[in-house]
Copies of this chain bind each other. A is one copy, B any other.
Amino acid sequence: MATDHELHLRDRLTRLRSLNLLGGVRLSGELEKLQRQLDRIQTAPTDEEIWRSVELARHQDRPYTLDYVERLLDDWVELHGDRGRADDAALVVGLGKFNGRTIALLGNQKGRDIKERTHRNFGMAYPEGYRKAMRLMELADRHRFPLVSLVDIPGAYPGVAAEQHGQGGAIARAQALMSRLDVPTVACVIGEGGSGGAIATALADKVLMQENAIYTVISPEGCAAILWRDAAEAKKAAAAFKPDAVHCLELGVIDGIVPEPEGGAHTDPDQSAKLLGESLEEALEELESVPADDLKRRRRAKFRSLGVYA
């Protein structure tokens, strides 16, 4: 299986090498990075390992957005409010210095204890949260701050108010805004990248995943409940739709994998932050050399190329 998976990756590498890269769709350095990823991955994820990722991605001690902010940014100023109705604590936004440059950062924020979890709605934003995120995106664009988005949301929130306040439209418009930004954008799934709630803030020039993060169109439980008519078959569902980072890389959905400490990000938050910081820096440096028009064109072309059909 390991060999099999490695073959897949090598195969993709070969195809990338031979590809006529239309209109600069792929950023330079892609091949080298894929090679490095390949060298690093020793074994491909088995069904058991996929499930372990699901568990680690949801681990209650896993570092959240503000844990990384604290370790990676100087002069952090959190901003609040959608300038319309509310300040949604499930999604934090702000400005800070990252390796000397000002960046705009947004991220889902889960809670550590039951009170904070309720306050932050388990990281699941309301439409007001997406609108706050859009405000930060506009601020970033206006002042040419690169945008970093940390994604960690079980899924869009299924609530009465969320629907009444226009959740579908808010998620659509957040993506549309990201597709229009003239600044470099990097998204990283740091835990659960759940469905529309995740993609709302992940239409980025570079999309990364931490090694044990998952990225899904529906949670394993939700998928199992529908297709197997039994939410307990979640493990089976996960094995079937493969939400792990390696498979996402293989499908071209993400651009790179951010390593975690042995045993998962929660075992060593400082080291996790260091590794995340290195990947973000690498991505930003590469993007900062690209002209704004090209950035936007490449970003859209990348997402418009996703899908497999005949």
Q: Indicate the size class of the contact surface on chain A.
A: 10 to 19
Question: What B residues does A166 contact at CB under 8 A?
Answer: 83-85
Within 8 A of B (CB), among A159-181: 165-166, 169-170, 173
Which B residue's beta carbon lies closest to that of A84? B166
Counting CB contacts under 8 A, is A63 at the interface? no
A127: B residues at CB distance < 8 A: 84
A83 touching B169, Cβ below 8 Å: yes
Q: Separation in Å of the A214 CB from the closest CB of chain B? A: 31
Q: How far is the CB of A135 from chain B (nearest CB, A)?
A: 11
The CA of A166 and the CA of B170, in the complex, are separated in Å by: 19
Copies, count: 2
What 0/1 readout, one digit per residue, does chain A (199-218) give for beta carbons within 8 Å of chain B? 00000000000000000000
Measured CB to CB, the nearest residue on chain B to A170 is B84
* Nearest chain B CB to A138 CB, angstrom units: 11
The residues in A between 115 and 145 inclusive whose CB is less than 8 angstroms from any CB of B are 127, 131
Shortest distance between the CB of A262 and any CB in chain B (Å): 46
B-contacting residues, A251-267, CB 8 Å: none
Cβ distance A58 to chain B, nearest Cβ, rounded Å: 31
- A165 lies within 8 A of B83 (CB): no
Q: How far is the CA of A84 from the CA of B127 in the complex (A)?
A: 8
Contact bitstring A4-29, B, C-beta under 8 A = 1, else 0: 00000000000000000000000000
Set of chain B residues within 8 Å of A85, measured between Cβ atoms:
84-85, 165-166
In the bound complex, how far is the Cα of B95 from the Cα of A272, in angstroms? Answer: 53
Q: Shortest CB–CB separation between residue A169 and chain B, in angstroms? A: 6
Point out the residues of chain B lying under 8 angstroms from A131, CB to CB: 84
A83 to chain B: closest residue by CB: B169
- A192 → chain B closest CB, angstroms: 27
* Chain B residue with Cβ nearest A173: B83
**Which residues in B have their C-beta under 8 angstroms from that of A83?**
166, 169, 173
In the complex, chain B residues whose CB is within 8 Å of the CB of A170: 84
Smallest CB–CB gap between A222 and chain B, Å? 27
Of the candidates A84, A85, A131, A169, the one having the most CB atoms from chain B within 10 angstroms of its own CB is A84
CA distance A42 to B173 in the complex (A): 54
Enumerate chain B residues within 8 angstroms of A169, measured Cβ to Cβ.
83
Chain B nearest Cβ from A170, distance in angstroms: 8
Smallest beta-carbon distance A164→chain B, Å? 8
Chain B's nearest CB lies how many Å from the CB of A165?
A: 6
Kindly state the separation between the CA atoms of A127 and B165 in the bound complex, as whole angstroms: 15
Interface set, chain A 77-111, CB cutoff 8 A to B: 83-85
Binding site for B on A (CB under 8 A): 83-85, 127, 131, 165-166, 169-170, 173
Q: List 12 A-B contacts (CB under 8 A).
A: A83-B166, A83-B169, A83-B173, A84-B84, A84-B85, A84-B127, A84-B131, A84-B166, A84-B170, A85-B85, A85-B165, A85-B166
The list of the 8 closest CB pairs from A to B, nearest first, reads A83-B169, A84-B166, A83-B166, A85-B165, A84-B84, A84-B165, A85-B85, A84-B127
